[in-house]
Amino acid sequence: MKDYQTIAIAECFEPLIPIPLEKFVICQPHPYQNLGANYGGKSPYYLREGVIAALIKSAEKLHQKQPGWKIKIFDAYRPVEVQDFMVKYTFDRVIESQKLKSEDLSPQERDNIWQQVYQFWAIPSLDPRTPPPHSTGAAIDVTLVNERGQTIDMGSEIDELGARSHPDYYLSSNENRNQKYHERRSLLHEIMKTGGFSRHPGEWWHFSLGDQMWAKLLNFPTAYYGRIDE
């Protein structure tokens, strides 16, 4: 259990609805579907109704700050089954990157790799008290594109396991390029805060509103979005 999962959930039963994609840019094909994740034949581009309203507000703020720029949605609602798929996929990729074989891992080595995975991925829990953030329809992974439709370089890829994913990784760097990365991450944070979102402490791309992590970060006693099954 992660610390934010101690927050109680007072489910508000707000519906999960399609994101108005004409207002944003999306990844095509969807990155997890492209890997084989099964969304049950439905679009992954859904969020809670109130979260979509907040996201539109953030997009309007971005347009004020950088005319022509748009929010690019990497991932939104994620069924627990997809969370499970991606956790296992990431575990396999870590093994592969370290040139190991799953069948040769000691219990300690296996546990160490799971610890790496769960630093960035929520456990695919079916317990209604501890839902993965994306399975609530309240969390979203985003980046920015400029007026030419080019994805902005933020200094690391979304879902990258490692220190560069930390929002303030480049804060203290004196290199011009790294300062640019920090400015871009700060811009993304600013516009998402305008909508009421909170940023994941360890992931520059992950924002949520109304879920347990959001409540924990803002010192609220309860969340109002729990797991939703569609």
Which residue out of 49, 190, 203, 230 is catalytically annotated? 203
Active site annotation includes 203 = yes
Mean pLDDT value across residues 142-159: 97
pLDDT tens across 15-28, in order?
999 999 999 999 98
* Predicted local distance difference test score (pLDDT) of residue 86: 96
Which residue from 11, 1, 8, 21 is spatially nearest to 137, judged by alpha carbons? 11
Owner of token pair 């640019």: 180
Predicted confidence (pLDDT) per residue in 85-120, tens digit: 999 999 999 999 888 888 888 889 899 999 989 988
- Residues 6 or more apart whose CB falls under 8 angstroms from that of 74 comprise 27, 31, 141, 142, 143, 158, 205
The residues near 115 (Cβ < 8 Å, ≥ 6 apart) are none
Give pLDDT tens digits for 76-86: 999 999 999 99
Of the candidates 133, 134, 121, 158, the one whose C-alpha atom is nearest the C-alpha of residue 44 is: 134
Return the domain boundaries, the chain: 3-223
Residue 120's pLDDT is: 87
Residue 230 has pLDDT above 70, yes or no: no
Question: Could you tell me if 121 and 86 are in contact, meaning their C-beta atoms sit under 8 angstroms apart?
Answer: yes
Q: Return the percentage of the chain with pLDDT > 90, whole number.
A: 86
Grade residue 63 by pLDDT with cuts at 50, 70 and 90. Answer: very high
Share of the chain above pLDDT 70, in %: 100
The torsion of the CA quartet 22, 28, 30, 31, rounded to 10 degrees, works out to -130
Q: Which architecture does CATH list for 3-223? A: 2-Layer Sandwich (3.30)
3-state secondary structure 17-33: EECCHHHCEECCCCHHH
